[in-house]
Amino acid sequence: MIELASDSLVVLAGPSGSGKSAWAAEWFRPSQVVSSDELRAVVGEHEHDLRASADSFAVLDLVLARRLDRGLLTVVDTLGMDPERHASWLALAAEHRRPSHLVLFDEDPKVCRKRNNARPAPVPSKVLSAQLSKWAEVSDDLGAGFDYVHQAGPAAVVPTAVLAASGGGWKAPASMRFGLQISAFDWPSGNEAIGDELTRIVGEAEHAGFESVWVMDHFMQIPQVGREWDAMLEAYTTLGYLAGRTTRLELGTMVTCVTHRSIAHLAKIVATLDVLSGGRARCGLGIGWYEREHKAYGLRFPPIRERYELLQDALELLPLMWGSGSPSYEGRHLATPEAICYPRPLQPKIPILIGGSGERRTLALVARYGDACNLFGEPDVVRHKVEVLRGHCRTAGRDPAEIEVTQLSSVLAAPDQRTLRDRIDDLRSSSVSPEDYAEHALGATAEQHIDRFAALASAGVHTAIVSLADVGHAGAVADFAPIIDALRP
């Protein structure tokens, strides 16, 4: 498989009849292919008007420069045997920092002649003979200067994050786990079927091997995911519903803002969830960020420093609420004469996950109080954050092994390229290109995703939590199962 970034320059090289145009048509949209023959028809009488060749290449160079400047994947369909033209195109790619690929079509001359003869307007036999002769002379040296050289074969545009980990030969640790985040509920089946859809999704998740399910604790949909009038369920009501529809999945929010509820009341809610789920509750906490949501629901949105102090109070008070006795607590902003909560959680200690990856304050709180952290970013970023966390653990005198490192990202996984293309077309709006949607949603085949998750595991991630872009479509969760299987102990 030829894997390409969405801003690549792809140059095709081979004699007439070697299959260049057919290959380009199979793997790319017409708008991504710049053909010297088609441009010859634009500036001349027709595609075979050789008198217009110079002008057609002048236009091709102009189009190529504009597309590379905009970061659009561009496939150059010409004979591709001119090293001087290659040098010019490679200079443009380097100027705009775009990866360059050369695809060689080393076809049997007999096949080239047969295909050429079948064309409505074949290339003259002598001209094709000259092309074949030249190809034999220059084909071995045409790759000079290109970042990648390929023999023609299946091709796919792959998101940057997935491509960066491709072929890394990673060895995934045995402790790699997966959680499923459900962040949107505006599914084709409508609001009346949300309950049934959730039941189906979590059933598929348990069968696929997911170990936890998470929902966002927001009262309206956030801009990064959808529109404010899209369906958004109340988090803990939803988790209570899911507790009755599952037997094994851990249940938590990603994450609860400490200003959304009284912390003592939150302790009661989470303890109740733990009891009714048979000891499967997780408590996700964060300082929050969505001020508009607070205003809409009449909640105070304190300055960031106060929110951090409130988070610290919550991290100290919650274990007291869930623990034995009824001790008093006096914090920076919270106080209670008795931390009382019956029934107690079934778990000896409900794990607290702290959202956010701020290096100075958030990860320091994780090191002191947290059972888990949640990080954003790809392997290099995560690796750095994990090192920062370990430094805070040393300062706090805590073993980093006690803290679960989780990573959250959006993912679209499909069993094959054709299904992936169809699903992207189904999900994207008409104003968003397939490549842009795939980049945003991390759209790739399950096989392509495996290396990325293995790289995250190598960077220190214990649990990858994924928000599936197509989670409302039947079979989407099952399509992720091969990734879980590949990284299972």
pLDDT score recorded for residue 175? 59
What CATH architecture applies to the domain 177-486? Alpha-Beta Barrel (3.20)
Yes or no: domain 2-157 corresponds to CATH 3.40.50.300: yes
DSSP SS3 for 146: coil
Nearest to 224 by CA among 177, 293, 158, 178: 293
Outline where 262-414 has alpha helix (H). Answer: 263-276, 291-296, 304-322, 362-369, 379-396
pLDDT score recorded for residue 169? 62
CB 453 within 8 Å of CB 484: no
Q: Do domains 2-157 and 177-486 have the same CATH topology?
A: no
pLDDT score recorded for residue 44? 83
**Rounded alpha-carbon distances, angstroms, from residue 164 to 3, 159, 167, 241, 333:** 11, 9, 9, 39, 45
Domain ranges of the chain: 2-157, 177-486
DSSP SS3 for 354: strand
pLDDT score recorded for residue 334? 97
**Strand runs (DSSP E) across 208-247, as ranges?**
212-215
3-state secondary structure string across 374-414: EECCCHHHHHHHHHHHHHHHHHHCCCHHHCEEEEEEEEEEE
The kind and range of the H/E element at 435 are helix 434-441
Nearest to 58 by CA among 79, 75, 42: 42
CB 151 within 8 Å of CB 104: yes
The kind and range of the H/E element at 200 are helix 194-208
pLDDT score recorded for residue 16? 94
pLDDT score recorded for residue 170? 59
Distance CA 64, CA 75 (A): 9
Positions of the chain with pLDDT lower than 50, given as ranges = none
pLDDT score recorded for residue 46? 77
